Amino acid sequence: MESIRGKVAIIGAADTQVGMVPHMSATQLCVDAGLRALADAGISKDKIDGLITCNSFAEPYMYHAEAIAEYMQIFPRVCLSVNTGGGTTFSVLHHAASAILSGMCDTVLITMADSLKSGLSPEQAMAMQVSAGHAQFELPYGPSVPSLYALIGKAHMEKYGTTAEQFAAVAVACRKHASLNPAAQMRELITVEDVVNSRMIADPLHLLDCSLISDGGSAVILTSAERAMDFPHQPVYLLGVGEGHSHEHISQARSLTTSAAVESGRRAYEMAGLGPEDMDFAELYDCFTPTVLIELEDLGFCKKGEGGAFVENGAIELGGKIPINTHGGLLSHCHPGNPGSMFALTEAVLQLRHQAGDRQVMGAEVALVHGQGGIMSSHTTLILGRERS
């Protein structure tokens, strides 16, 4: 298969307001994110001939991308909506790249948003949380999403001796980065003690081990590398991409402590011709703190089973070996559901443009961005860079 390495670039990136945004619906946030990305790229909406969206829990449409295109009065040649979590939120980038390189379209807008904070009643939110399990083998026992991820955290503790304090170090690092981000939903610094003393949600996950619930939207615009120099900002090139899919339901997982990030990472590194040692920073899917440890291990930033020691020694903080989630991540910046990983992508773009202000990773040239969906089920890894090769 011909590689897409360095052939497509992100030329626009933008986020909406996040947190509690009651004056805007999920649809309005999706459109707002798209319009902000258009402004960032310095182009008008009539230049968009490809549109990809993610369906909303709060305001779903049977044909979501078509509805957003209609709302924005965009008439694309390629129109696609997805709805299977953070992993496929990122996999749409290589579908967009393929559409551009095959000539199906020239410029693709990817825009996603939801209103989980203000758009769902408590009953609707709980129904969403308990709908992920297998109807026969999991749902009868009443698990929610946090309890399913708690199985992963507990397994890592049992197998490798990981501690609650080590999980907490992830939340502390993300909050430190969020404190430097004026757009973050939660900016007040926290300690390891704050995390382990916060309310237990599902053993071993405390409240501060869990991602936020938010409103918000985010968008990027892609075009060919040849055209990318015609826009206002430093292009950010797609150097590598890989997917890995291991299961859908956690009861069917082959392992609770090793994920398909191993496969997605390997494929992305191979396409890029780079390795974990070449990354200047990483944006990792942090819906719950244990997932970060497993991703760090599976993506090669530390050895298997050593994620706990790695994070407690400051390696993931700004100035550390591999700073992660420099915007605050899902734990502290925001998490509006499926679109949550998109904020990691726009943050990576800002970092690689060297526009991240107080949280800038100095001299950042290459980044890894990783998303996963389901219960550590579907994984996509992106390698991004300031240069095409």
Spatial distance between the Cα atoms of 187 and 176, rounded to a whole number of angstroms: 8
How many domains does the chain divide into? 2
What global pTM score does this model have? 0.96
Q: Give the CA-trace dihedral at 339, 345, 81, 62, to 10 degrees.
A: 20
Are 71 and 156 members of one domain? Answer: no
Please indicate, yes or no, whether residues 254 and 367 belong to a single structural domain of this protein: yes
Q: Across the chain, how many H-helices and E-strands are there?
A: 13, 11
pLDDT of residue 134: 85
Residue 130 domain flag: no
Asked if the structure places residue 132 within a domain, the reply is no
Question: Domain boundary residue among 200, 228, 256?
Answer: 228
Phi, psi values for residue 382, rounded to 5°: -115, 140
CA dist list (Å): 117 to 92, 207, 212, 217: 25, 16, 9, 13
Residue at 288 is within a domain: yes
Q: What is the pLDDT of residue 138?
A: 83
Give the separation between CA 317 and CA 314, rounded to whole angstroms: 5
**Residues 6+ positions from 319 with CB-CB distance below 8 Å:** none
Give pLDDT tens digits along the chain (389 positions): 468 999 999 999 999 999 999 999 999 999 999 999 999 999 999 999 999 999 999 999 999 999 999 999 999 999 999 876 787 789 999 999 999 999 999 999 999 999 999 998 878 877 777 777 888 888 888 888 999 999 999 999 999 999 999 999 999 999 999 999 999 999 999 999 999 999 999 999 999 999 999 999 999 999 999 999 999 999 999 999 999 999 999 999 999 999 999 999 999 999 999 999 999 999 999 999 999 999 999 999 999 999 999 999 999 999 999 999 999 999 999 999 989 999 999 999 999 999 999 999 999 999 999 999 999 999 999 999 999 97
Q: How far apart, in whole angstroms, are the C-alpha atoms of residue 6 and residue 299?
A: 21
Are the C-beta atoms of residues 285 and 341 closer than 8 Å to each other? yes
Same domain for 248 and 223: no
Which backbone phi and psi does 127 adopt, to 5 degrees? -60, -40
Q: How far apart are CA 156 and CA 290, in angstroms?
A: 8
SS3 category, 29? helix
112 lies in the same domain as 151: no
CA atoms 340, 343, 348, 351: torsion sign = negative
CB contact at 8 A, 263 and 257: no
Q: Is there a single domain that holds both residue 107 and residue 154?
A: no
Closest CA to 263 of 114, 138, 125, 381: 381
Domain end among 228, 253, 272:
228
Closest alpha carbon to 78 in 87, 90, 89, 69: 69
Query: Is the domain of 207 the same as that of 79?
Result: no
The answer to whether residues 263 and 182 belong to one domain is yes
For residues 115 and 204, membership in a common domain is answered with no
Residue 3 inside a domain? The answer is: no
Residue 59 in any domain: the answer is yes
Q: Judge if 75 and 221 occupy the same domain.
A: yes
Note whether 310 and 84 are within 8 A (CB).
no
Q: Which domain holds residue 285?
A: 145-211+236-385
Which amino acid does the sequence have at 69? A
54 within a domain of the structure (yes/no): yes
On whether residue 65 sits in a domain, the answer given is yes
150 and 65 in a common domain: no
Residue 49 sits in a domain whose CATH number is 3.40.47.10
Please check whether residue 68 lies inside any domain of the structure.
yes
Q: How far, CA to CA in Å, does 34 sit from each of 41, 230, 279?
A: 11, 20, 29
Q: What is the pLDDT of residue 89?
A: 84
Q: Are residues 24 and 43 in the same domain?
A: yes
**Residue 57 in contact with residue 339, Cβ under 8 Å?**
no
263, two tokens: 């496969």
Query: Where among 198, 228, 258 does a domain terminate?
Result: 228
Nearest to 317 by CA among 154, 207, 178, 115: 178
- Chain center to CA of 138: 26
Domain check: are 205 and 315 in the same one?
A: yes
